[in-house]
Amino acid sequence: MNNCYNNGSCEVDNITSQSSCKCNKGFYGEYCQFKECDEQCILNNGQCIEGKCHCPNNKIGHNCSITFCKNYCNNNGICVKDSNDKYVCTCNEDYFGEYCQHIKCDKNCNGNGVCIEVDN
């Protein structure tokens, strides 16, 4: 009797008479019950957890191949879908810009100056 899933083959050790499953490519586990993630998942900065690809916050898809914020949101910004079904970065309170790439002036220059962007 073959207790292996996903077309895995049951192999018996001739010395110990113990059986084990030999899994086909793409599956793992004692009974070949878990599916491995697509190689592209890891290449696209995803994490494979129990056979499911978990994507970073700017990617979606079964292997994280779809980038939905044009550039990664900087400075802990979060990529969200807006009311127009477009993906945009939502910045934390200290940053602004399309990709949260600009820092706000501290306390708006205390009302005594003008905040300007300076290239370093």
Residues 58 and 46 in one domain: yes
Identify the residue whose tokens are 């110990």: 16
pLDDT of residue 19: 92
Q: Are residues 79 and 118 in the same domain?
A: yes
pLDDT score of 64: 86
CA-based Rg of the chain, rounded to a whole angstrom? Answer: 25
> Quick one: three-class SS letters along the chain?
CCCCCCCCEEEECCCCCCEEEECCCCEECCCCCEECCCHHHHHCCCEEECCEEECCCCEECCCCCEECCCCCCCCCCEEEECCCCCEEEECCCCEECCCCCEECCHHHHHHCCCCCCCCC
The parent domain of residue 61 ranges over 39-68
Per-residue model confidence as pLDDT tens digits over 8-62: 999 998 999 899 999 998 888 899 988 888 788 888 888 888 778 888 877 778 8
- pLDDT for 105-114, tens place per residue? 766 677 777 7
Whether pLDDT at 67 is above 60: yes
CATH of the domain at 26: 2.10.25.10
- Give the C-alpha separation, 75 to 92, whole Å: 8
- Is the domain of 80 the same as that of 63? no
**What is the pLDDT, as a whole number, of residue 120?**
45
Domain count, the chain: 3
Do 63 and 74 belong to one domain?
no
| Same domain membership, residue 6 and residue 24 | yes
Distances (CA, A) of 60 to 8, 54, 67: 30, 9, 7
